[in-house]
Chain A
């Protein structure tokens, strides 16, 4: 995660958040692709990491991102019932409900979101990135709250 360079810390330059977005190979990544192909505009604040299934995303990945000063983390996967591996995203849901409690304790729960995006929802993907980026912009950078 160290490849992601932080933008300049000077206040007069607009804060550009760094957001890590985990996309599942079968739905969300295709959705992100569709958003690109259809030329929907969204901020260039995200770094997409493709995983085979949202169930692959360990809670430790989220914590590792926060530890390395990433401002926000998105996890996206197929809608419940649509998982390519039948029940992968159900595990994800259960897992991140537990993680949210921990993040609440650390005061980071606003910086993390779990969303379902299917391959046909390019528009939704673009909107999600826009709203989430705005949300993170309001919260400010993680390393100097």
Chain B
């Protein structure tokens, strides 16, 4: 079990400045911090790291990469180690008894073709199976099993898309899970099977643009699919990017809601998959702040939290791993920060939303803050500017 290739290069670059250990959000409570783990691997104690199973506790929030002067990608080392830990039968504790991971794993079997129902599609929205613009729904309909509000996000995103686009939006019937959770849990074989199925389905639909409203799905489709499968070259956009471009092109504007006289104080939680996990040129966190700037013009108030942009704190859970008291403490900390500056916490990651809401059931002090997805906020205020050429 020796780390090779690109990962070995990462390791050799490390000069133990321990910036990563300083920033690590689990570092305060962990026995080993990232720099110690890297040092142990370099010294040849990789087996000990694998056997101890300590890397299951990593949040994969990528804060360490953000501060690293040599861009040592610790999250990828963790991913590789997790794959080895699975081989060595050192199992993680997956939240919800592994229910959602098992669903993805069942879906990864070739002989199982899921059939999505479109009961949730709001009336007035045109959907089809072939077309130009595809909306990747992801696992939201499956989360419906436990989280009743999980569909709101998908419904509102579809409403926004239908409002802006004249053509019908493509929804895939046999769309499978994007595989993000399996990838970060080290189950790479199952991930590849899911990806192959999805890429085939995308190509069959003839779409030239995939829009998603999920941060994790975006990162997976945008970065991980093309890196593993070279033939996948359909453009992928997150709802934030999509709306930003439409705003810049003067195709949409925000109008004030008549009913709503109360001033809403907003703040935004940057999900790790939309900030630190993307190359710096993507600049999503500036794009979303542009959207908020536009919203300020119609009377919303936007305040920044203490930790923001690429510095933002983690919601505590990624890919359904290690939801524990430690993770809840992190989340509590984050919600208190939000409570200081606003009463509405906006996020663009459905899982962050689920986890924040879950904490609200447990803790009274954070109950008065309203956790909403960006699409829920924008659904009512978006207005399409009719193009002049058509008139």
B113 CB-CB contact with A under 8 Å:
yes
**Chain B residues positioned under 8 Å from A59 (CB to CB):** 99, 145
Given contacts A63-B99, A64-B102, are A106 and B114 in contact (CB under 8 A)?
Answer: yes
Q: How many residues of A contact B (CB 8 A)?
A: 19
Say yes or no: A105 contacts B114, CB within 8 Å. Answer: yes
Given contacts A58-B97, A60-B96, are A107 and B113 in contact (CB under 8 A)?
Answer: yes
**Chain A residues positioned under 8 Å from B102 (CB to CB):** 60, 63-64, 67
Q: Is the interface of A mostly helix, strand, loop or mixed?
A: helix
Q: Which of A104-120 contact B (CB under 8 A)?
A: 105-108
Residues of B whose CB lies within 8 Å of any CB of A are 96-99, 102-103, 105-107, 109, 111-117, 141-142, 144-146
Report the minimum CB–CB distance from B124 to chain A (whole Å): 25
A66 CB-CB contact with B under 8 Å:
yes
**Chain A residues positioned under 8 Å from B111 (CB to CB):** 142-145
Report the minimum CB–CB distance from A62 to chain B (whole Å): 9
Say yes or no: A60 contacts B98, CB within 8 Å. Answer: yes
A39 CB-CB contact with B under 8 Å:
no
How many contacts A-B (CB < 8 Å)?
50
A46 CB-CB contact with B under 8 Å:
no
**Chain B residues positioned under 8 Å from A98 (CB to CB):** 145-146
Residues of A whose CB lies within 8 Å of any CB of B are 58-60, 63-64, 66-67, 98-99, 101-102, 105-108, 142-145
Report the minimum CB–CB distance from A97 to chain B (whole Å): 11
**Chain A residues positioned under 8 Å from B144 (CB to CB):** 101
Report the minimum CB–CB distance from A56 to chain B (whole Å): 12
What's the Cα separation between A66 and B144 when bound, in Å? 20
Contacts A66-B106, A98-B145, A102-B142 known; list 14 others, CB within 8 Å: A58-B99, A59-B99, A60-B97, A63-B106, A64-B102, A67-B102, A98-B146, A105-B114, A105-B117, A106-B107, A106-B114, A107-B114, A144-B111, A145-B112
Say yes or no: B116 contacts A105, CB within 8 Å. Answer: yes
**Chain B residues positioned under 8 Å from A60 (CB to CB):** 96-99, 102
